Amino acid sequence: MRVAILAHEKFPDRAKTALGVLRYADYDAVAVLDRETAGQRVNDFVPDVQDAPIYESMADLETDEVDALLIGIAPIGGGFEESWRADVRTALENGCDVISGLHYFLADDEEFAELAAENDCELRDVRKPSDDLTVSQGIADEVDAEVILTVGTDCSVGKMTVSMELARDAREAGYDAAVIPTGQTGIMIEGWGNPIDRVVSDFTAGAVEEMILEKGDEHDYLFVEGQGSIVHPAYSAVTCGILHGSMADKLVLCHDAGREAIHGYESFPLPDLSTYIDLYENLAAPVADSDVVAGALNTSSLEDDAAREAVDAYVDAIDVPATDVVRFDSETVLDALL
């Protein structure tokens, strides 16, 4: 699918979803829309992702050049910026689908709904949970695939990135691996998935199970994108539901080097790494034998030497193979997983 990625005035530094899509998605990115950096190219700013020209608006693209417009940024609060309306309108008039992870559902916008109907296009609000979700049956372990779940010491430690990197590296090494996306950006990258943090709480595990049952006999390995942390004061419910719903065979413990307290909840210090391993494994045990067999450390805040030292210390602390999968080679970690 050929996509244009809307990132007005925020590319590249404040366009996390756009960058995730350029880095990991299979889409053919035909353009980024950013009226501030228009005229330049993606690789002028970020060298190691898919390149594309940057345009001012959808009107700069040929009508038959693109299949979908993807909203690659989100203002605080997840609202729709009226300055984007012309681009969405043009996309729909040209027969393009529009993919959005905003809290504001495009399908509920009267003008967009009408245009989509007229032009036979789809408005895909990936943050809107499907209506047919229900409770887990406790059968995710019946699929053929080995299920690998990324679990974290906190939010924003890199679980989505680790899932994407490991699945990609596994595929490059010849394995049949897929990602089970559970969050907004993951869903945009993969083009499908349930936004687990938005489903009815009773359906948390069920919404993960449903995805594993759907894909589990088509692949040899599923990398499930984890969310939150099992000791997070606010988000642990989502983490727990994913842990039990996925019935994972193997866990990858993700951590951000130097993080000492729960992000945004600084009065809660992170427990020891060994405590996390015990908690995840012991909590999973009555439902599935899920062992922490590898680790992933986010060292993006460190220089090269310090990063290498931090990885070594992390391996010592958790006593399983680990690396920074973005910065270094992931071979030892993949060896432990596949």
* Interface with a copy of itself (CB under 8 A): 135-138, 196-206, 230-241, 243-245, 247, 262, 265, 267-268, 270-271, 275, 278-279, 282-283, 285-287
- SS3 category, 281: helix
Name which of 40 and 156 has its Cβ closer to a copy of itself. Answer: 156
- Token pair 């993969």: residue: 190
- For 253, counting Cβ atoms within 10 Å of its Cβ (0-12 exposed, 13-18 middle, 19+ buried), the class is buried
The nearest distance, CB 143 to a copy of itself, in angstroms, is 15
The nearest distance, CB 288 to a copy of itself, in angstroms, is 9
Name which of 247 and 302 has its Cβ closer to a copy of itself. Answer: 247
User: What would the two tokens of residue 284 be?
Assistant: 């999973």
Name which of 172 and 272 has its Cβ closer to a copy of itself. Answer: 272
Name which of 237 and 338 has its Cβ closer to a copy of itself. Answer: 237
User: What would the two tokens of residue 105 be?
Assistant: 């559902």
The nearest distance, CB 162 to a copy of itself, in angstroms, is 21
Name which of 94 and 204 has its Cβ closer to a copy of itself. Answer: 204
The nearest distance, CB 181 to a copy of itself, in angstroms, is 16
- Token pair 């979700």: residue: 133
44: Cβ–Cβ under 8 A, 6 or more apart, which residues? none
227 in Cβ contact with 186 (< 8 Å) = no
The nearest distance, CB 208 to a copy of itself, in angstroms, is 10
188: Cβ–Cβ under 8 A, 6 or more apart, which residues? 17, 20, 21, 25, 70, 72, 99, 101, 126
